Amino acid sequence: MEFGIVGLGRMGGNMARRLARQGHRIAIHNRGQAVSTALAAETGHLACASLADLVAALEAPRIVWLMLPAGEATRTALETLAPLLAPGDLVVDGANGHYKDDAPRAAALAAHGIDFADAGVSGGVWGLENGYCIMLGGGETAAARLRPWLDALAPAPGRGWLHTGPVGSGHYVKMVHNGIEYGMMQAFAEGFALMRQKPGFDLDVAAIAELWRHGSVVRSWLLDLSADALARDADLTTIEAFVADSGEGRWTALDAVEQGIPAPVMSLALMMRFASQGGNDYAAKLLAMMRQGFGGHAVKGSEA
């Protein structure tokens, strides 16, 4: 056994399950031991109570794949692993990390003789059944070592994963991927809102979404998900109008500014998410006040 996964949330847990279905037995570790134990009972993987136990369970040269939240959790895990691993081992950061963090982390691990790769992973909760799209940054040696595992995680061997280039490139490509995702989602949301609220036509948005899935140039997985949701509840009565944003959407917009490359769709889609979170509330109140001031227009008062 040479491969281990650290972090068994929605993505990491299902990646471990997919590897089990492909006939691989791996070591697994999660901060909550109960999660590791339950998944081990389900898959036949080896549950490890700590990072030290996981490293000890693996045969050198080891591969440790991190599926932790980006930021502090990943940084702490890397700092803990560095003295535990041996020269020739490989660490993969599969979180939605910032690509600018990758080169310093690779250099820090290289000082211990440990290789590093970054992986952008897409597929969400459907990756278990459909496979994951994986964007891998790192050296040629790391990519070659990871090929059997990437083939098992991807939709099919040799399809659905790509060695994108040097360290940092995998996270960068995934960052742009998520920026594009923001824009596509916003376009669908605006279009269906227009049709749902158009007076006089009484448009069946669920039927239209299903129609567009077949032969339309806008057919996509996002449309499939929208059609399924609208078929269940076209009014979306149980959904709050609040849309969270990940760090990757912000990083994409900032990268566009740094490069001086116009990216209005992705940037405005990010701004709309801020608005849904209440970020536009104060500005809207000020607009209403100014309109009242110069034109005497009525202002809606808030309930105390």
What superfamily would CATH give domain 3-165?
A: NAD(P)-binding Rossmann-like Domain (3.40.50.720)
- Kindly report, as residue ranges, where domains of CATH 3.40.50.720 are found in the chain: 3-165
Cα(247)–Cα(233) distance, integer angstroms = 30
Q: Specify the pLDDT at position 23.
A: 95
Which contacts (CB < 8 Å, 24+ apart) does range 189-192 have?
192/226, 192/230
Q: Phi first, then psi: what are they for 91, rounded to 5°?
A: -115, 135
Give the residue from 113, 116, 152, 114 showing the smallest Cα distance to 134.
152
Share of the chain above pLDDT 70, in %: 99
Q: Which of 181, 190, 210, 258 is catalytic?
A: 181
Average pLDDT taken over every residue of the chain? 95
What superfamily would CATH give domain 174-289?
A: N-(1-d-carboxylethyl)-l-norvaline Dehydrogenase; domain 2 (1.10.1040.10)
Q: Specify the pLDDT at position 278.
A: 94
Q: Specify the pLDDT at position 296.
A: 87
Q: Which of 59, 72, 100, 174 is catalytic?
A: 174
Q: Specify the pLDDT at position 297.
A: 86
Residue 21 has pLDDT above 80, yes or no: yes
- For residues 29-40, give the mean pLDDT: 96
- For residue 174, indicate whether it is catalytic: yes
- For residues 39-61, give the mean pLDDT: 97
Please compute Rg for the chain using Cα positions.
23
The pLDDT-based confidence of 258 (bands split at 50, 70, 90) is very high
Q: Specify the pLDDT at position 303.
A: 60
Dihedral sign for Cα atoms in the order 175, 121, 135, 183: negative
Residue 304 has pLDDT above 60, yes or no: no
The DSSP call for residue 156 is: B
Count of CA atoms in the C-beta half-sphere (13 A) of 135: 22
- Kindly report, as residue ranges, where domains of CATH 1.10.1040.10 are found in the chain: 174-289
- For residue 181, indicate whether it is catalytic: yes
Residue 171 has pLDDT above 90, yes or no: yes
Residue 215 has pLDDT above 60, yes or no: yes
Cα(91)–Cα(82) distance, integer angstroms = 9
Look-up of token digits 């105390």: 304
Which of residues 300 and 68 earns the better pLDDT score? 68
